[in-house]
Chain A
Amino acid sequence: MQVPVLKQGDYLIASIQSVLSDADLIQLRDNLGARVGDYRSRGVIIDVTVLDVIDSFATRMLRGIAHMLKLRGAETVIVGIQPDVAFAMVQLGLTLEGVGTALDLEEGLAYLNTKTKRVAVDGD
C-alpha cells in the first residue's frame, strides 16, 4: 500500500497507514526524494506509529531515506516508534544513528522547527 505524503508548510508528512512491504518502502523513498524537490521542503516527518515491526531492512531503508533527504537539503524525523518495536530494535542491535526521532507528530514538528531554524541561522 502506497504511503500518502502530505504537504504542511515547509514540511512533508509521510503517514504510514498499514504494514509495509519492501517495495512500499522503496516507493516511499523515491516519492520523498522527488517531492522534497517539487515543494522545496525543509523537513520531512515519517510517521511509523502503525508499524508492528521495524526489522533490519526497514531500519536500513529509513536510515537511507533520512540520509538521502539530508543530501537534498531536508531534515528528517521519524515519529511514533512503539515501545515494543523499539525494544525489538534494541534486541536486534538496530539503530537509527544520525536520524532524528521524536515521540509523535507534535514532537516531530517541534523537532523540525528547531532543527531547520538553526540551520537557517548557521547559514547567515
Chain B
Amino acid sequence: METETQTAINSAVDIVTARQRGRALALELGFNGADVTLIAAAISEVARNIVDHAKCGEILMSSVNGQSGGRPGIQIIARDQGPGIRDVAQAMQYGYSTRKGLGVGLPGAKWLMDEFDISSEIGRGTTITMRKWKR
C-alpha cells in the first residue's frame, strides 16, 4: 500500500484539513479509533506550530513499514522554511512557549507518537518527522 498526501499549511484553516487527511489515512491503514485520534491530535499540534511560528509550510503523510517484521505505520513530516528554532531542547520542554500558548504542542505531539524527530536551523526552517506504528 503506497499512500501519500501533501497538505499546504498557510493558515489556521489548513490545520483542520491536515488533521482530517491524517485521520482518513490512519483509518485506511487500519489504526484503531483511539490511535486515530492520537495521530489527528499530533498532526494538529505540529500544523499549529507551523502557522504560529513559520506562517506557512507543508505536511506530508504516508504509510511506512517497520524494519523487522514490517509492522505498518504512519509517517508525518511537517516542514517549513520559517525562522527556525534557536533552542530545540527548550522548545521541547513541557510548558515552554514563546507566544501565548500553553507550551504543550511539540512535547505533546512527541508523547502521542512512537517516534519523533525534530531538526531546525536558524533562518532555514524546521522539519519534524514523526511515526506511529500499528499495535
Contact = CB atoms under 8 A, between A and B. Distances in A.
**Chain B: interface residue count, which band?**
20 to 34
B111 A92 contact: yes
A93 B45 CA distance: 13
B2 to A, nearest CB: 26
Of A52, A59, A87, chain B has the most CB atoms within 10 Å of the CB of A52
A94 B16 contact: no
A21 B19 CA distance: 11
B104 A53 contact: no
A110 interface: no
A59 to B, nearest CB: 7
Given A19-B20, A21-B16, A93-B94, A56 B101 contact: yes
A52 B12 CA distance: 17
Contacts of A83: 34
A53 B33 CA distance: 12
A86 to B, nearest CB: 9
A64 to B, nearest CB: 10
B112 A88 contact: yes
Contacts of B101: 56-57, 60
B104 A23 contact: no
B40 A23 contact: no
A38 interface: no
Interface string B70-112: 0000000000000000000000001000000110110110011
Contacts of A84: 33-34, 36-37
Contacts of B94: 93
B16 A19 contact: yes
Contact of A88 (B20, B41, B105, B107): B41
B40 A92 contact: no
21 contacts: A21-B13, A22-B15, A23-B13, A52-B23, A52-B40, A53-B40, A54-B41, A55-B44, A55-B45, A55-B48, A56-B48, A56-B101, A56-B108, A59-B102, A60-B101, A84-B36, A87-B37, A89-B41, A91-B41, A92-B104, A93-B108
